[in-house]
């Protein structure tokens, strides 16, 4: 190392501690000064904080109270909003339910008005149709629920007026269709409750047909034009006595001091319709179709055979006294006695066979044609069922060909189909009873004949043994 560098190095070594000591002292003094200044500032700051702390706490407390109050107001407003929305929803539901109830009430009123109008007698339609048409026109022009409900109330009130007027008795003029020609005749109507009387200017009088509206017709909605189209009033053909009573009563109706006598029909015309609809036997047979003829044939055949065989079997008199070779009997029992008495053989078994053959011949004679009655009893219901099936096929063919056939047409077709079943059972039941009674009677006769023949064989055997014993005694003597 060079000397100059060494000298510099030594100088630096001795110089650095001196400089470092001075720097530390100066830094320490500066730090103490800074610390005092910071402590002083901190004290001032603390004094300032202590001075400002109470107002700030008051402000914070005030602001917190205000915030809590605002929060409560917000919660109240939120609840109020929720309640208002819930009330609106409930109100909407109530409005919808009220509208549904109102629509339901309007539908009920419409059904009642339609039922009343369609069930009203055709003769009275002219009295109420104009007013009802006006009500329907007004309800059509203003089709709000309120106006519809008001129209329904007006129509209901009109129906009540009509019912009250009819119940108390109402007289009006018009025309009706008079049977059997079907011509229209002007006259006077007199409506009392469910019954309407008519007296024409030409002397025709009687009860009017009651309108029995079907459910399909009642479902048709009424309109201002449809109610103005009236069905014609039809007169029911009555007896001359009833006609005179009605004419006399209606002609003297203006005299309140005089009592009028009128015929009463509690069934409102149904009894007359049922009486006219009743068929006699010949008409019923004509409705039976082709299968009624074999049923009638078997019925007549069975009846003839039953009468003949009953007469033949009943004529056979069963003897009440004990069988005897010397007695007197009737019918097949006399034949058995004569056969047994005329037998000259010595073997009783042969006589028994002869009598048994006679019983068999008599049984065959008495049973002849009886099986035809049993055949009739078995065949007639089957023929009736065949006729019914054929008729039902025709009914279903009508249903297929016509989309909506009338109920009356279907009922008539079914009733015609059941005619053959009816006559088949009417034929079979008496045939079955007759066959059972005749067969039982015949079996009783055959049993009596068998017992009768057994008694005769025993008597004949006893006589043969007696004759043999007598001949032996004669030969011994």
**What is the pLDDT tens value at each position of the chain, 477 positions in all?**
555 566 666 666 656 655 555 577 777 888 888 888 888 888 888 888 877 777 777 888 888 888 888 888 888 888 888 787 777 888 888 888 888 888 888 888 888 888 877 777 777 777 777 787 787 777 666 667 777 888 888 888 888 888 887 776 788 888 888 876 677 888 888 787 777 888 888 878 877 766 544 444 444 567 767 777 777 777 777 777 777 877 777 776 554 556 777 777 666 556 665 655 566 667 777 777 788 888 889 889 999 999 998 888 888 888 877 777 777 778 788 888 888 777 777 777 887 888 888 888 888 888 888 888 999 899 999 988 888 888 888 777 777 776 555 555 566 667 777 888 888 899 999 999 999 999 998 888 888 888 888 888 888 777 777 767 766 766 665
Closest CA to 183 of 210, 197, 202: 202
Claim to verify: residue 155 and residue 239 sit in the same structural domain: yes
Residue showing tokens 């005329």: 342
pLDDT of residue 432: 92
Output the pLDDT for position 10.
60
| 14 in any annotated domain | yes
The reply to whether 87 and 129 lie within a common domain is: no
pTM: 0.49
Residues 46 and 92 occupy one common structural domain: yes
- Is residue 132 located within the same domain as residue 69? no
Domain assignment present for residue 107? The answer is no
Domain assignment present for residue 203? The answer is yes
The answer to whether 112 and 155 have CB atoms below 8 angstroms apart is: no
Instruction: Indicate left, alpha or beta for 366 from its phi (over 0: left) and psi (-120 to 50: alpha).
Output: alpha
Check whether residue 53 and residue 144 sit in a common domain.
no
Structure confidence at residue 217 (pLDDT): 47
In a domain, 108, yes or no: no
Residue 95 maps to a domain: yes
Residue that terminates a domain, selected from 245, 277, 309: 277
Q: Tell me: do 297 and 362 sit in the same domain.
A: yes
Distance CA 363, CA 462 (A): 28
Domain limits for position 368: 285-476
Instruction: Tell whether 260 and 304 lie within a shared domain.
Output: no
Q: What does residue 279 show for φ and ψ, rounded to 5 degrees?
A: -105, 145
Same domain as 263, residue 188: yes
Q: Which residue, 100, 129, 154, sits at the end of a domain?
A: 100
Q: 375-397 burial, b if ≥16 CB within 10 A, otherwise e?
A: ebbebbbebbebbbeebeeebee
For residue 170, give the H/E element and its range.
Answer: strand 170-178
Please, is 37 exposed, middle or buried when counting C-beta atoms within 10 Å of its C-beta (0-12, 13-18, 19+)? Answer: exposed
User: 377, 424 in Cβ contact below 8 A?
Assistant: no
Asked if 319 and 459 sit in the same domain, the reply is yes
Cβ-in-10-Å burial (0-12, 13-18, 19+) of 457 comes to buried
Whether residue 364 sits in one domain with residue 237: no
Spell out a b/e string for 110-141, using b for 16 or more CB atoms within 10 Å of the CB, else e. beebbbbbbebbbbbbbbbbeebbebbeebee
Burial of 227 (0-12, 13-18, 19+ CB in 10 A): buried
d(CA 409, CA 407): 5
Domain check: are 458 and 345 in the same one? yes
Domain count across the chain: 3
- Boundary of a domain, candidates 277, 310, 331: 277
> How many whole angstroms separate alpha carbon 73 and alpha carbon 78?
8
Question: Three-class SS of residue 318?
Answer: coil
Residue 109 falls within a domain, yes or no?
no
**Same-domain check for residues 401 and 333:** yes
Give the pLDDT confidence score for residue 214 in this predicted structure: 44
């Amino acid at each position: 190392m060079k000397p100059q560098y060494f000298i510099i190095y030594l100088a630096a070594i001795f110089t650095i501690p001196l400089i470092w000591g001075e720097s530390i002292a100066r830094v320490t003094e500066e730090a103490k000064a800074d610390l005092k200044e910071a402590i002083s500032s901190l004290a001032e700051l603390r004094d300032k904080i202590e001075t400002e702390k109470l107002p700030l706490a008051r402000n914070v407390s005030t602001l917190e109270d205000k915030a809590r109050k605002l929060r409560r107001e917000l919660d109240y407003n939120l609840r109020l909003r929720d309640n208002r929305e819930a009330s609106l929803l409930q109100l909407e539901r109530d409005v919808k339910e009220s509208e549904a109830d109102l629509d339901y009430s309007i539908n009920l009123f419409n059904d009642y008005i339609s039922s009343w109008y369609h069930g009203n007698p055709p003769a009275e339609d002219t009295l109420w149709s104009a007013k009802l048409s006006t009500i329907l026109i007004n309800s059509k022009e203003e089709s709000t629920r309120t106006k519809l409900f008001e129209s329904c109330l007006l129509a209901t009130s009109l129906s009540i007026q009509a019912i009250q007027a009819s119940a108390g008795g109402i007289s009006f003029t018009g025309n009706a269709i008079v049977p059997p020609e079907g011509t229209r005749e002007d006259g006077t109507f007199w409506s009392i409750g469910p019954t309407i009387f008519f007296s024409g200017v030409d002397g025709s009088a009687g009860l009017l047909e009651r309108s029995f509206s079907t459910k399909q017709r009642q479902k048709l909605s009424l309109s201002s034009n449809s109610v103005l189209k009236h069905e014609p009033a039809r007169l029911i053909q009555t007896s001359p006595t009833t006609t005179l009573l009605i004419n006399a009563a209606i002609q003297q109706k203006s005299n309140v001091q005089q009592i009028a006598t009128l015929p009463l029909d509690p069934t409102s015309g149904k009894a007359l319709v049922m009486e006219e609809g009743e068929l006699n036997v010949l008409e019923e047979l004509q409705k039976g179709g082709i299968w009624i003829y074999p049923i009638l044939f078997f019925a007549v055949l069975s009846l003839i055979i039953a009468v003949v065989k009953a007469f033949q079997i009943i004529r056979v008199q069963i003897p009440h006294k004990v069988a005897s070779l010397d007695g007197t009997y009737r019918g097949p029992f006399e034949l058995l006695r004569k056969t047994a008495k005329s037998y000259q053989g010595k073997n009783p078994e042969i006589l028994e066979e002869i009598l048994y053959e006679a019983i068999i011949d008599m049984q065959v004679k008495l049973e002849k044609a009886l099986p035809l009655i049993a055949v009739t009893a078995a065949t007639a219901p089957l023929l009736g069922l065949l006729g019914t099936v054929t008729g039902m096929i025709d009914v279903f063919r009508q249903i297929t060909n016509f989309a909506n056939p009338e109920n009356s047409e279907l009922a008539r077709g079914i009733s015609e189909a059941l005619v053959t079943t009816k006559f088949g059972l009417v034929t079979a039941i008496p045939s079955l009873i007759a066959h059972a009674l005749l067969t039982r009677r015949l079996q009783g006769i055959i049993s009596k004949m068998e017992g009768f023949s057994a008694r005769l064989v025993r008597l004949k055997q006893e006589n043969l043994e007696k004759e043999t014993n007598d001949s032996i005694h004669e030969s011994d003597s």
